[in-house]
């Protein structure tokens, strides 16, 4: 979860969640009971009745059902959420009609310039060949966002110049008094019964889709916010704010609530209900910037709900998580969805630390400048320790750990981390009377810097520069320094590079599917916010994969708009095979430590919207391919049938290696293996030739090595045989690349990842 968000909403915890209310239901837990797809011949109300009846047969009385039932899912898929004791849950799980019983999980939430960086515009000018122009800015596409709701008052959601709402839309605003709809913001609903069943009652003033936290408004406006000129933060980053599909219609489904002491913010039962609504209401794209630890697909409500969305042709875009750079930290692993990691752009908000010994240290900041020029006294927070506080807490600028008498009027030097948010440290420094703050990375943070809008003049420096600063503080009795006014710097090189926090592969559930799929800008992104918070910020700068996810959702909206016939898999393939793996130095994209980024961090690369418009070929998949995938997971066939509207059989010789994914991963290669793929032509007729960059120690043979497509829609298969040569020393994982190319225009690229047994 983004640290900034954590700080800003932490105050809600005690205010809104009553502490005592969950005692009565302590022995019970909330579960999703999933019964498969819906029987098309039944009305929603009949399915709902069947849930009452079914649950009644287990619990024994209608009263107990009324008490237990949280939601009935009866429009897009069949199931319900209920508070159950373990015995009843076990009984349900054994019932032949039940596909799976999932104990609900709590989940966590995980601009103006980024579109220029992605070449949709150049210095504010939008060219005729931009995907924006071609896709009419995503006009009439509907983007749903499952998050903390919407600050509808934001200019990003005004509907000036919008025509009537697309006729297919069945959604709306649940309470027009609290959050009114217009022709831009066409949906606002909230779901909190699951949250309350898990964490206790919310104040009834929370029964609204209104965004009290800012996260949801930020992500929604990044995906589909209208053009808003003249946006800046503390005078920085001035420009026209807009989303990826700036003319799209948007709908907010509020599923996340003030974070609890248990760490959760969003509950599966609510998220699954919101998925059902968004599918039913007629969304084209669902953007969802939250997640929890990865789980097997049948034990993951989000995987099941997103499957039903994709089955209806809706593209689902998830954030990869902010638990990088730990290997295996990536979450939201369903192969039918798009999983997005985060990268930087070429813009920085620079604010230097000038020291009296003439050292200048580069930091990042979006804070206000110091009130007067000239040096200020500096103090290491460790030397400003309050008598009753621990040294560690003082060093970290934790609340109550500083002695105001020592801090007053000085620039305070704080260490990042220790479960104290970056902005929170600024609040502590300011309330102790500091004139400014220098935030120093701990060793683990390395060079990752975040430009926060702190409540006092402040800047954020790297670990290496922090050491220089501490050495200076040690060297003199009267250390002096200055924090320069933040300034916008463009064309920063290298860019993009991986954000350190962006979660990494390998995929811990299905190692044969590479995740994340793609990266997009997610560091220092400016977008709409909630003005419920102090300081009041109509626009705010945030970092996280939460921010990169809606960038991809916005681009998906554009692609849907010009290719309404493309499946979610085709759209995903187009985005992946055209992605950028080089930075603006023309070198391979780097990670946060300046090493070459590999597919476990960057997936297929950084999104390139204009090229995604015209990929030439796509690796397409149908619902049956996803069912085949589930077969490879060893699920009971009669259970897989329940996902399908048609009779379905798991194929013979079904191998996950043949699942038509746009990236190629072989797990534990032992000797030789053959992988098959099929390509669909979505461009002009043409001849494609293969080029392979073999992973170290692996020979790769592609048959055939030329594919000729005579018309649009034509499908061609190929086989890729990989053999470990056994002679060279092989690391855990080795990486390569497969490219089908046709002249200059079409380069259909896939990462290859191999681990050797």
Ligand X SMILES: *[C@@H]1O[C@H](CO)[C@@H](O)[C@H](O)[C@H]1NC(C)=O
Q: Which residues are marked as active site?
A: 147, 215, 546
Judged by CB under 6 A, the residue of 27, 61, 167, 388 near ligand X is 388
Under DSSP, is residue 428 helix (H, G, I), strand (E, B) or coil?
helix
Burial profile 4-43: b = 16 or more Cβ within 10 angstroms, e = fewer = bbbbbbeebeeebbeeeebeebeebbbbbbbbbbbeeeee
Cβ(130)–Cβ(121) below 8 Å: yes
Stretch that binds ligand X, among 174-182, 283-291, 330-338, 508-516 (CB under 6 A): 174-182
Interface of this chain with ligand X, residues 653 to 692, rule: CB under 6 A: 653, 670-671
CA dist., res. 128 & res. 674, Å (int): 44
Judged by CB under 6 A, the residue of 20, 27, 40, 177 near ligand X is 177
Interface of this chain with ligand X, residues 267 to 286, rule: CB under 6 A: none
* 19 near ligand X (CB under 6 A): no
Question: How many residues sit in the footprint of ligand X (CB under 6 A)?
Answer: 28
- The structure tokens 């060297």 sit at 475
CB of 459 to ligand X, least distance (A): 19
* 390 near ligand X (CB under 6 A): yes
Judged by CB under 6 A, the residue of 393, 543, 577, 601 near ligand X is 393
CB of 470 to ligand X, least distance (A): 4
The 3-class secondary structure across 153-208, one letter per residue, is CCHHHCCCCCCCCCCCCCCCECCCCCCCCCCCEEEEEECCHHHHHHHCCECHHHCC
Judged by CB under 6 A, the residue of 178, 464, 480, 739 near ligand X is 178
* 203 near ligand X (CB under 6 A): yes
Kind of pairing between the strands at 69-73 and 78-84: antiparallel
Q: In what order do the strands lie in the sheet with 185-190?
A: 185-190, 249-254, 142-147, 285-288, 315-319, 338-343, 518-521
* 180 near ligand X (CB under 6 A): no
Interface of this chain with ligand X, residues 723 to 742, rule: CB under 6 A: none
Is the Cβ of residue 116 or residue 424 nearer to ligand X in the bound state? 424
**Which residue, among 572, 6, 56, 94, has the nearest Cα to 338 in the 3D structure?**
572
Judged by CB under 6 A, the residue of 637, 691, 712, 717 near ligand X is 637
CB of 389 to ligand X, least distance (A): 4
Cβ(209)–Cβ(178) below 8 Å: yes
CB of 144 to ligand X, least distance (A): 21
CA dist., res. 656 & res. 674, Å (int): 11
Is the Cβ of residue 191 or residue 566 nearer to ligand X in the bound state? 191
Is the Cβ of residue 125 or residue 536 nearer to ligand X in the bound state? 536
Interface of this chain with ligand X, residues 82 to 111, rule: CB under 6 A: 96
**Which residue, among 162, 465, 501, 463, has the nearest Cα to 329 in the 3D structure?**
501
Window 581-620: contact mask with ligand X (x via CB under 6 A) = ----------------------------------------
Is the Cβ of residue 485 or residue 755 nearer to ligand X in the bound state? 755
Q: List helix spans (H) across 530-577.
A: 545-562, 568-577
Bridge partners (DSSP) listed for residue 673: 722
* 359 near ligand X (CB under 6 A): no
CB of 150 to ligand X, least distance (A): 15
Stretch that binds ligand X, among 185-193, 279-287, 292-300, 386-394 (CB under 6 A): 386-394
* 386 near ligand X (CB under 6 A): yes
* 47 near ligand X (CB under 6 A): no
Is the Cβ of residue 37 or residue 369 nearer to ligand X in the bound state? 37
CB of 539 to ligand X, least distance (A): 24
CA dist., res. 541 & res. 364, Å (int): 12
Is the Cβ of residue 401 or residue 449 nearer to ligand X in the bound state? 401
* 423 near ligand X (CB under 6 A): no
C-alpha torsion sign, points 666, 667, 671, 674: negative
Where in 180-337 does DSSP place strands (E)? 185-190, 228-233, 236-241, 249-254, 266-267, 285-288, 290-291, 315-319
Window 456-495: contact mask with ligand X (x via CB under 6 A) = -----------x--xx--x---------------------
Is the Cβ of residue 129 or residue 636 nearer to ligand X in the bound state? 636
* 650 near ligand X (CB under 6 A): no
Is the Cβ of residue 572 or residue 642 nearer to ligand X in the bound state? 642
CA dist., res. 183 & res. 94, Å (int): 47
* CA 612 from centre of chain: 20
Under DSSP, is residue 605 helix (H, G, I), strand (E, B) or coil?
coil
Is the Cβ of residue 317 or residue 756 nearer to ligand X in the bound state? 756
* 357 near ligand X (CB under 6 A): no
Stretch that binds ligand X, among 106-114, 243-251, 390-398, 740-748 (CB under 6 A): 390-398
CA dist., res. 362 & res. 355, Å (int): 12
* 14 near ligand X (CB under 6 A): no
Interface of this chain with ligand X, residues 205 to 264, rule: CB under 6 A: 205
CB of 642 to ligand X, least distance (A): 10
Beta-carbon count within 10 A of 636 CB: 12
Judged by CB under 6 A, the residue of 342, 401, 413, 458 near ligand X is 401
CA dist., res. 31 & res. 88, Å (int): 11
Is the Cβ of residue 293 or residue 400 nearer to ligand X in the bound state? 400
CB of 419 to ligand X, least distance (A): 7
Q: Which residue is nearest to ligand X (CB)?
A: 400
Is the Cβ of residue 392 or residue 708 nearer to ligand X in the bound state? 392
Structure-block tokens of residue 275? 């998925």
Stretch that binds ligand X, among 41-49, 503-511, 631-639, 658-666 (CB under 6 A): 631-639
* 398 near ligand X (CB under 6 A): yes
Element (H, E) at 279: helix 268-281
- The structure tokens 């849907």 sit at 560
Report, in this order, helix, strand and coil percent for the chain, each rounded to 5.
25, 30, 45
CA dist., res. 547 & res. 553, Å (int): 10
Stretch that binds ligand X, among 75-83, 348-356, 481-489, 632-640 (CB under 6 A): 632-640
Judged by CB under 6 A, the residue of 652, 711, 726, 732 near ligand X is 652
Beta-carbon count within 10 A of 437 CB: 31
* 757 near ligand X (CB under 6 A): yes
Element (H, E) at 470: helix 463-475
CA distances from 672 to 234, 668, 700 (A): 59, 11, 10
Bridge partners (DSSP) listed for residue 582: 588
Element (H, E) at 601: helix 599-602
Judged by CB under 6 A, the residue of 42, 389, 480, 492 near ligand X is 389
* 338 near ligand X (CB under 6 A): no
Is the Cβ of residue 110 or residue 385 nearer to ligand X in the bound state? 385
Terminal CA-to-CA distance of the chain, rounded, Å? Answer: 35
CB of 161 to ligand X, least distance (A): 29
Residues that bind ligand X (CB under 6 A): 96, 175, 177-178, 203, 205, 386, 388-390, 393, 398-401, 420, 467, 470-471, 474, 636-638, 652-653, 670-671, 757
């Amino acid at each position: 979860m983004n640290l900034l968000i954590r700080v800003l909403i932490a105050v809600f915890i005690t205010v809104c969640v009553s502490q005592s209310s969950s005692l009565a239901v302590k022995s019970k837990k909330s579960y999703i009971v999933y019964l498969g797809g819906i029987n098309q011949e039944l009305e929603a109300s009949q399915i709902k009745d069947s849930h009452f009846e079914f649950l009644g047969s287990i619990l024994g009385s209608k009263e107990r059902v009324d008490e237990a039932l949280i939601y009935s899912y009866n429009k897009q898929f069949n199931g319900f959420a209920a508070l159950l004791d373990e015995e009843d849950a076990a009984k349900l799980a054994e019932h032949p009609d039940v596909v799976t019983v999932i104990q609900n999980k709590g989940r966590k939430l995980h601009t103006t310039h980024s579109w220029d960086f992605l070449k949709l515009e150049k210095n504010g000018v939008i060219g005729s060949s931009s995907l924006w122009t071609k896709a009419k800015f995503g006009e009439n596409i509907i983007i749903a966002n499952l998050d903390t709701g919407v600050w509808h008052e934001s200019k990003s959601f005004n509907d000036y110049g919008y025509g009537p709402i697309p006729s297919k839309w069945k959604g709306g605003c649940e309470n027009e008094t609290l959050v009114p709809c217009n022709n831009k913001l066409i949906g606002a609903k909230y779901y909190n019964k699951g949250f309350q069943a898990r964490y206790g009652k919310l104040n009834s003033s929370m029964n609204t889709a209104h965004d009290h936290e800012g996260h949801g408004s930020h992500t929604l406006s990044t995906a589909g916010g209208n053009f808003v000129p003249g946006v800046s933060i503390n005078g920085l980053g001035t420009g026209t704010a807009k989303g990826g599909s700036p003319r799209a219609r948007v709908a907010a489904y509020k599923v996340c609530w003030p974070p609890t002491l248990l760490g959760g913010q969003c509950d599966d039962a609510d998220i699954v209900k919101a998925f059902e609504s968004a599918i039913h209401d007629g969304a084209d794209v669902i953007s969802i910037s939250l997640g929890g630890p990865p789980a097997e697909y049948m034990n993951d409500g989000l995987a099941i709900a997103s499957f039903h969305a994709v089955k209806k042709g809706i593209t689902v875009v998830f954030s990869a998580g902010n638990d990088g750079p730990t290997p295996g930290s990536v979450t939201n692993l369903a192969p039918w969805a798009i999983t997005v990691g985060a990268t930087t752009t070429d813009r920085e908000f620079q604010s230097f630390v000038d020291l009296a010994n003439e050292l200048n240290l580069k930091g990042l900041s979006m804070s206000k400048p110091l009130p007067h020029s000239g040096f200020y006294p500096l103090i290491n927070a460790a030397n400003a320790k309050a008598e009753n506080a621990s040294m560690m807490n003082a060093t970290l600028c934790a609340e109550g750990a500083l002695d105001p008498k020592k801090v007053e009027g000085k620039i305070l030097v704080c260490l990042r981390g220790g479960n104290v948010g970056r902005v929170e440290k600024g609040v502590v420094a300011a309330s102790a009377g500091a004139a400014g703050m220098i935030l120093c990375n701990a060793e683990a943070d390395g060079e990752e810097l975040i430009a926060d809008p702190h409540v006092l003049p402040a800047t954020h420096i790297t670990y290496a520069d922090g050491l220089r600063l501490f050495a200076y503080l040690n060297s003199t009795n009267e250390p002096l320094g200055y924090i320069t006014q933040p300034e916008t710097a463009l064309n920063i090189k290298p860019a993009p590079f991986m954000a350190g926090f962006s979660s990494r592969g390998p995929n811990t559930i299905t190692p044969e599917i590479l995740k994340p799929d793609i990266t997009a800008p997610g560091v220092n992104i400016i977008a709409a916010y909630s003005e419920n918070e102090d300081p009041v910020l109509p626009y705010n700068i945030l970092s996280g994969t939460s921010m990169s996810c809606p960038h991809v959702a916005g681009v998906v909206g554009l692609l849907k708009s010009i290719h309404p016939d493309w499946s979610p898999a085709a759209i995903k393939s187009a985005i992946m095979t055209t992605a950028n793996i080089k930075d603006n130095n023309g070198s391979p994209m780097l990670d946060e430590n300046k090493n070459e980024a590999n597919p476990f961090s960057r997936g297929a690369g950084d999104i390139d919207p204009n090229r995604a418009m015209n990929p030439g070929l796509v690796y397409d998949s149908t619902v049956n391919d996803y069912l085949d995938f589930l077969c490879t997971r060893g699920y009971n066939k009669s259970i897989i049938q329940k996902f399908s509207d048609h009779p379905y059989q798991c194929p013979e010789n079904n191998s996950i290696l043949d699942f038509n994914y746009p990236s190629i991963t072989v797990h534990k290669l032992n000797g030789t293996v053959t992988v098959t793929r099929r390509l669909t032509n979505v461009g002009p007729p043409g001849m494609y030739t293969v080029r392979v960059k073999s992973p170290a120690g692996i020979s790769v043979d592609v048959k055939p090595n030329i594919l000729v497509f005579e018309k649009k829609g034509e499908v061609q298969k190929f086989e890729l045989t990989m053999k470990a040569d056994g002679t060279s020393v092989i690391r855990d994982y080795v990486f390569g690349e497969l490219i089908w190319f046709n002249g200059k225009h079409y380069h259909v690229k896939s990462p290859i990842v191999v681990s050797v047994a």
